[in-house]
Structure 1
Amino acid sequence: MSGNNQNYNTIVGPNNIEEIRAHSSRRRFGLRWIPTSAQEFEDSEIKLLNCLNVPYEIGFVNAGQVLQPGFCCGVAKLINVKIRTLVVNKTRPGTPLLLLHGLGLGIGCFVPVIRAVGQQFRGPIYALDLPGFGLSTRFNFPTDPKETEETYIKLLEGWRHTLNLQRVFIGGHSFGGFLATSYALKYQDRVQELVLFDPWGFPEKPEKVSYFAGFQNPFVIHFITLVTERVNVNAHFRLLGPWGPKSFASAIETTWSGCSASKLFEIQSGLEGSDRLLSEYMYHCIAGNPSGEAAFRSMMNWLVYTKEPMARRLHRLNTPVTMLYPEDHSFVPSIPDDELECLIGPLCRLKIIIIPSRHHENMLVSKTVEDVLLNLT
């Protein structure tokens, strides 16, 4: 594959990667409330991927089957789960790097990372849409948190088996960091090293929560937790319908005071308008069927905690781990460094790095992340 990136957006690959048009139905015209469709989502993804400075391949990988509960006491059925997968440097001989995104995101959030390290990384780089997110299969997950987590791990292993990858580095951001760690606990011989970017779901929830997602007022904390336990995280943007995209873009910029990941990406890449492409892509990620959000809601405890925290399991982890945290406040609680060192497995090599001038949402766009990934051996 050669030429400029205008030639890279063809879906190619082995027989286990299938053409997107055979995967999902398209609805571009006609009456609708939420301004999204599989076609528009794919278009926004391709526009964003054309910001890459390396050739890529993209398609679907068969990850196995799951039992889909029947609707309203109907008959359950097996469905095939297909995982949207991006790969660069597929023929390079080094150990592959697998990137797992956070809640409500997808492959596109790693475009800044791949753009920064793709030309120099020694092995292939894979990024995927987790099941229930992005353009991967969206289905009804179990409501039991343990079963939901096990479903994710089963599908990630099915994805790896289909591609016949022997050992991988895994980089996971937020929710992706939780799943990466869970996978490494079950398949330690398959993971060479974990790189976790402000991972969600590690500490136990304290008996009394005095600070929550940037708020200290106990009434506000109670209200937020009450709502998020009953409603999916991004439901309000979907309820806004045609006003959703503008509201979403405004919320990102307002929350992060002009230092959003999309704005930093435009600065880093030097590509005018790339911030808009990333913002539009992120909206399509959250505008569709909230299958992954519902799965997350079944696993969470007060949104920023989980019902099955990693703190209870880290003593079994022997895989080398690099933990990266943003210097600026993160709404994702973490385990204090000294406590983390006591909890981690005795054979595990642990490195903790603080990324200066970054927060949870924009930390992937940083020189520190680039250096860590390029130094993986």
Structure 2
Amino acid sequence: MSIFEYTWYLSWIPSRFPYFSCPSKSQRLAEAEGRILSALGIKYLARLIQIPFKNTEISTITVNCESEQPIVKAKYPIVLIHGFGAGVALWGSAIKRLAQFQTVHAFDLPGFGRSSRPKFSSDPETAETEMIDSIEQWRDKMNLEKMNLVGHSFGGYLATSYALKYPKRVENLILADPWGFNEMDPEFAQKLTSRQKNIFWVIQQFNPLAVLRLVGGYGPSLVRRLRPDLALKYSEDVYDYIYLANSRDPTGEEVFKCLSENLGWAKQPMSKRFHELDNTVPVTFIHGERSWIDWRTTRRLFGELEHVESHIMDSAGHHVYADDADKFVQLVIGSLKDGKTGELVPEEVNLEEEIVTPI
């Protein structure tokens, strides 16, 4: 092969196989994130907030309140914690709407998205402590006195764990279809066939999203094939985003695997700890009726507590914030309580009319 042919060959590869080319995955992830948020008309500030834990950088976006005189304004900012395998961009439309009432901060958990990939302990209790202390260090660096904390799925589990340890920093705790609350069915393994047991054994030898990394540049196509509905909620950029967000060193996945039992349950479920939460912290559960999360048990266990509210969105599955962003934001804002009076947002305010037309 001549030098001319070799040079041509090298130039041919990136055009046919873009995931073998520059720019880096980190840069492409940032660009995909930017395209998703910009397509929604979101004006945001993106920063890397460095915290003491292993000099970790937490990728953070901030969207300032869009209205000079909002109808209802919470006293403290709204902070969003994403679920497993996700990132800040997937809050999309919810961020756009929430920012009409208060400044919104969303960050990638350490080990996920654009944040650093520190190594966590392999001990479940220690790993959970490291994760929630990282959240506290991020809050301190952001100079936030208190937060209206919103967590989805795995993020809901971590938000609850954070509130258990740092209740004075949480004005309201809002749990969007949280994972890890119910105990695993003790007869789960007995109900499996031999084939299913073998499949579970193989799955447990790897990190949950190992296949996504194994297929490399075909990752976006795999996500598109598994979740064709995501393009309707976001844009085609979402497939690149999910692949790139999970293509780096999976230290966040390792934490999730460490804390989970057969991936579907937590080793230390919140059903055993939730009653220890300071009852001065108002809690709101927002479940999707069509979700795989067992919200009926959660509601039965905690629905009667005075500081707890529970809402079921019949229009949504697990991703309540994306399946019906208008309804989700209505429930979030309606659940916020004033730090001085402890009262709910006035019922006469029609939040649906104040929320922008869906994009």
TM-score by structure 1 length? 0.76
Please tell me whether residue 296 in structure 1 is matched to residue 230 in structure 2.
no
Aligned to 2:170: 191
Please tell me whether residue 373 in structure 1 is matched to residue 293 in structure 2.
no
Which of 347, 352, 376 in structure 1 is aligned with 2:310? 352
Q: Which amino acid aligns with 1:125?
A: V
Judge which range, 304-313 or 222-231, deviates more: 222-231
Q: Secondary structure at the match of 1:194?
A: strand
> Which runs of structure 1 show a deviation greater than 6 angstroms over 4 or more consecutive aligned residues?
33-36, 90-93
Determine the C-alpha separation between the residues in 2 that align with 1:339 and 1:81.
Answer: 37
Aligned to 1:226: 201
Conservation of the 8 A alpha-carbon contact between 2:287 and 2:312: yes
Aligned to 2:118: 139
Q: Secondary structure at the match of 2:258?
A: helix
Please tell me whether residue 170 in structure 1 is matched to residue 130 in structure 2.
no
Deviation at 1:190, TM superposition (A): 0.7
Deviation at 1:117, TM superposition (A): 2.7
Q: Secondary structure at the match of 1:50?
A: helix
Which of 51, 64, 75 in structure 1 is aligned with 2:39? 51
Determine the C-alpha separation between the residues in 2 that align with 1:179 and 1:158.
Answer: 14
Aligned to 1:74: none
Aligned to 1:337: 299
Structure holding more helix per residue: 2
Determine the C-alpha separation between the residues in 2 that align with 1:187 and 1:161.
Answer: 12
Deviation at 1:361, TM superposition (A): 3.5
Aligned to 2:289: 327
Determine the C-alpha separation between the residues in 1 that align with 2:19 and 2:284.
Answer: 48
Aligned to 2:182: 203
Judge which range, 160-169 or 275-284, deviates more: 275-284
Which of 80, 84, 108 in structure 1 is aligned with 2:89? 108
Q: Which amino acid aligns with 1:173?
A: H
Determine the C-alpha separation between the residues in 2 that align with 1:114 and 1:303.
Answer: 28
Equivalent pairs counted in the alignment come to 313
Q: Secondary structure at the match of 1:335?
A: helix
Determine the C-alpha separation between the residues in 2 that align with 1:234 and 1:30.
Answer: 21
Deviation at 1:179, TM superposition (A): 0.4
Which of 193, 212, 218 in structure 2 is aligned with 1:237? 212
Structure 1: which 5+ runs fail to align?
1-28, 66-78, 254-259, 266-273
Which of 83, 100, 106 in structure 2 is aligned with 1:127? 106
Conservation of the 8 A alpha-carbon contact between 1:327 and 1:357: yes
Conservation of the 8 A alpha-carbon contact between 1:201 and 1:305: yes
Which residues in structure 2 correspond to 1:241-260 (within 5 Å)? 241-253=216-228, 260=229
Q: Secondary structure at the match of 2:255?
A: helix
Conservation of the 8 A alpha-carbon contact between 1:169 and 1:194: yes
Q: Which amino acid aligns with 1:80?
A: N
Deviation at 1:221, TM superposition (A): 4.3
Determine the C-alpha separation between the residues in 2 that align with 1:349 and 1:31.
Answer: 49
Determine the C-alpha separation between the residues in 1 that align with 2:86 and 2:22.
Answer: 18
Q: Which amino acid aligns with 2:311?
A: I
Which residues in structure 2 correspond to 1:54-65 (within 5 Å)? 54-65=42-53
Aligned to 1:316: 276
Determine the C-alpha separation between the residues in 1 that align with 2:133 and 2:225.
Answer: 37
Determine the C-alpha separation between the residues in 1 that align with 2:251 and 2:268.
Answer: 20
Determine the C-alpha separation between the residues in 2 that align with 1:31 and 1:135.
Answer: 18
Determine the C-alpha separation between the residues in 1 that align with 2:195 and 2:327.
Answer: 35
Q: Secondary structure at the match of 2:47?
A: strand
Determine the C-alpha separation between the residues in 2 that align with 1:45 and 1:354.
Answer: 30
Structure 2: which 5+ runs fail to align?
1-16, 338-359
Give CA-to-partner distance per residue, 1:278-331, whole Å, 9 cap, x none: 222112111221111111111110101011111111111122111111111415
TM-score by structure 2 length? 0.80
Conservation of the 8 A alpha-carbon contact between 2:174 and 2:284: yes
Give CA-to-partner distance per residue, 1:90-146, whole Å, 9 cap, x none: 79883100000000111111112112332x21x210000000000101021110111
**Alpha-carbon distance change, 354 to 341 in structure 1, aligned in 2, over 3 angstroms:** closer
Determine the C-alpha separation between the residues in 2 that align with 1:340 and 1:219.
Answer: 36
Q: Which amino acid aligns with 2:329?
A: E
Give CA-to-partner distance per residue, 1:167-217, whole Å, 9 cap, x none: 111110000000000000111111011111110111111211279xxxx85
Deviation at 1:368, TM superposition (A): 2.0
Q: Secondary structure at the match of 1:58?
A: strand
RMSD: 2.8
Deviation at 1:30, TM superposition (A): 10
Determine the C-alpha separation between the residues in 1 that align with 2:295 and 2:145.
Answer: 33
Conservation of the 8 A alpha-carbon contact between 1:326 and 1:363: no
Determine the C-alpha separation between the residues in 1 that align with 2:329 and 2:90.
Answer: 15
**Alpha-carbon distance change, 334 to 149 in structure 1, aligned in 2, over 3 angstroms:** farther
Deviation at 1:226, TM superposition (A): 1.5
Please tell me whether residue 159 in structure 1 is matched to residue 121 in structure 2.
no
